[in-house]
Amino acid sequence: MKLFKTPSLIRWLVPRRTWGFSSINTIYLTFDDGPTEELTQSILAILKEKEVKATFFCVGANAKRYPELMSKIIQEGHCVGNHTMRHEHAGKTSKKAYLASIDEARNYIDSNLFRPPYGRLPISYMRSIKKNYEIIMWSWLSYDFDVDVTAACILEKAKNQIKPGHILVLHDNLKVKEKLEFFLPKLIDDLKKRGLDFDVISA
């Protein structure tokens, strides 16, 4: 079963991470895994057209490879966060190696925000990371990466589930390109029609 909206029980069981915010009418759009040559420019163009700001959780290797895209993200008023150096899975990586990956990524991503790839983060890792970062999770996951989830399904789930204060997760990678370019403008328009504003996450 795909849980687009993060259950309250999970938030309660995994405290000391940011799952959302208290807000009357603001939501927080985030993009994981970039920047990418194939999609970042397109995302930025859509955000600029719609006058929306977002937060990009970047992979260090990509930030190193595309410094001009990192600069453009920031110049256009968006924020960035650390998403490890090589998108490591915490459940398959030693604590020492995982923390080293975050530190290495910091050379290319100037931010005190961190989001663990796959949403996996053992408590022992979290305690060390919390010394330097705010750990940002999410309230609503788009499943844009899942080939079985259509753009229409994403838009329908968003319509029924997204609430003020929610942190939304989309992706900036090649495998979601066609789907995201189609549904992102419609998603933004739909949320704006509901009177919701967009803002960045900042530490």
Q: Catalytic site residues? A: 32, 171
Which contiguous run of DSSP H or E holds residue 134? strand 134-135
Both structure tokens of 194: 């509901």
DSSP string over 156-196: HHHHHH--TTBEEEEE-SGGGHHHHHHHHHHHHHHHHHTT-
Residue in this structure with the two tokens 């995302």, named with its chain if needed: 43
Q: How far apart are CA 101 and CA 93, in angstroms?
A: 10
Which contiguous run of DSSP H or E holds residue 140? strand 140-141
Q: What are phi and psi of 20, to 5 degrees?
A: 175, -175
Burial class (CB in 10 A: 0-12, 13-18, 19+), 193: exposed
Both structure tokens of 57: 């959780």
Which contiguous run of DSSP H or E holds residue 56? strand 55-58
CB atoms within 10 A of CB 129: 20
Residue 63's SS3 state is helix
